[in-house]
Chains A and B, each alone.
Chain A
Amino acid sequence: MIGTNPRRAAASVAAALLLAGCGNTASPAQTSPSDAVTGGITVLAAASLTDAFQAIATDFERAHPGTEVTFSFGSSATLATQINQGAPADVFAAANEPTMRTVTDAGAAQHPQIFVTNTLEIAVPRSNPGNITGLADFADPAKKIAVCAPQVPCGAAAQRVFAHAGVTARPDTLESDVKALLQKVQLDEVDAALVYHTDVVAAGDAVEGITFAAARTAVNRYPIATLTGAPNPGGAAAFVDHVLSPLGQARLDKAGFARP
């Protein structure tokens, strides 16, 4: 299971910060190419990356004065459509590989790299009003159950784990994104929803997570790539490097993502 120990994550952030600091003072020659990185960088990223990427952008802007990272967070499929329609952006980070493939197939991005993975987890309201214990409860028609629609990535993943666990889910609603699921859990309107581990981490105290074995069968791999039409290709490459760096990975660890 992808349990994140907050203390371990904090320690790795500190270690990475230390390393980054050492790098800057010890070898000034190495920083000179990055000093050329400047200007605005537009990053389109899957909504689940919101918190981690904002922290990463703060680190990045500190490491590269004169840069300004602007985000557009949303459904990966919507962002991919915007990119293929010519949206001016530098970097794309998607929540799954098929979505990235629609962009690379259109020639709008090249050489995507997998930078994190994410697994499904059961989210219940803090008091667990439905007494949910595991995936089998999703078959109980008496419980209010929310999952993603099969047409969107989180729904496709949900179908895979249900099939693997032999559970015939009886959902009351098929939402079009994870945030909509999580909102209904936070408002105590559903007994359980199938979301990502990172969503449970981001929701804090309002939501409790329950892990289950079948989650292993549907791991989402997140690719990141610079866009071929990037107005700021230097900045785009530097941002992708930063996400893949130990410091970037530490921020992603803290948000609950796992290493690929």
Chain B
Amino acid sequence: MTQSEVDYSDVQGLVRFGYKLMTEASYVLLRVRDVAAARSWLRSAAVTSAVAMNPPPSSAMQVAFTADGLKALDVSASVVGGFSAEFLAGVTEENRSRRLGDVGSNAPSRWGWGYSANVPHLLVMFFSVPGQLQAFIQASTGNVWKEAFQELRWLDTADLNGLEPFGFPDGISQPQIDWTRERDVTSAQIDYSNIAALGEFLLGYPNEYNKYTDRPVIDANSASAALLPAEDAPDKKDVGRNGTYLVLRQLSQDVRGFWQFIYRQAGGNAAEVEQLAAALVGRTRAGDPLVPLREQAIPGVGPDQIRQNQFTFDKDPSGRRCPFGAHIRRANPRNTDYPGRPDNLITRLITMLGFGPKGFRDDLTSSVRFHRILRRGREYGPELSPSDALAPAPPDDPERGLHFICLNANILRQFEFLQNAWIANTKFSALTGESDPLLGNREPIPPFPAAADFNRQEDGGLRRRVSGLPQFITVRGAAYFFLPGLRALRYFAGAGNT
């Protein structure tokens, strides 16, 4: 069956592009002050679509809404209620915080924004090529804007030349979206692939289970006339189609703490400093993985990404090259549906019945294809090199960090699963007493002390353990947004008017 192609003009550009050439960006969190004015601004807002342009545009604007935001715009309760439970409850829901590790110093009650009265309604993101951002923001906002919105907070970003504040290349590994829906997701995945079903990143299309993720699907009427029909219910209109969820987390990074800790652990030995830092991340500061590249190509890893992404951890089953707990091994274990790659029906059946590989660490991690996210974050704060980071902080040391942004069609199964089962989990991959070396909050799990270790396996020798890892990253604010398709955005802007 040939699938209708995705209407890129209905998709916000961020889903398809990272806007790398637009090195300047600023995000603003808004609360609706006046509903009519807010809708009026939204109707005329020049939101950038995912249509490829030549030459590429010099600026872009994207708009996303929280559940509170949709309610504030008087979008009907039956429509809002069709969104996912985690979007509706929000990231600060108490039980969710426990799962995400947003406790202790990460607790929502300590956030600068995103909690209680500080929950934003809208996120508007401005991107531009160097030198034009302020003018673009000026031109995009205008008088109606001031009437419509209360600006809760501006989140400025910094261009650190592709590095995140600790000094490692950021966003190297991204899933490749199967825009044309060519990949067969129904058969078991035996070999690692970097290609993900369209429905993992856009609502209204089949996901990795070949199912349509829940979203608001409504009756056709004059208000919803412009919306696209639902593929799985053609007589209904799909509010979710071409939209996706956007998770925003402001992660403050203690750059000085990070490098000073590593420097102390390494006894000041420059080579050992680099090695330990690379072990924590799972890549060198040049972005190279710690495991050897595969000779065989990986679907969805382009020719320009071979050096940094044509690898899996299959050749490092004992974790001696890349520690099991290294950040990138947690965030993407690069595994498949079955351990040991059973390539025929019989071996697969044997594995399925539990008679496959029996090693201590075999088959502990969920198949990664159900847990991918598309990262679109940007850094903030001034650059600080690892050597400068060794100096004590001046009294007015500015905050540095990452405005972490990820896109996914199912927050629970993608972002939250990844954050909980892989990043925060102190038992990931049969480890114990350690959480993600970068993102972990080091909170204890009674009766055990704080989970603040990091272990490196040695060839035939004892593991080398780093203990007392401080918390390097603190959550300062977060929210779950819906990044609608452009038709849905206009539908929200017209809500209640008709």
A and B: partners? no
Q: List residues of B whose CB falls within 8 A of some A CB.
A: none
Q: List residues of A whose CB falls within 8 A of some B CB.
A: none
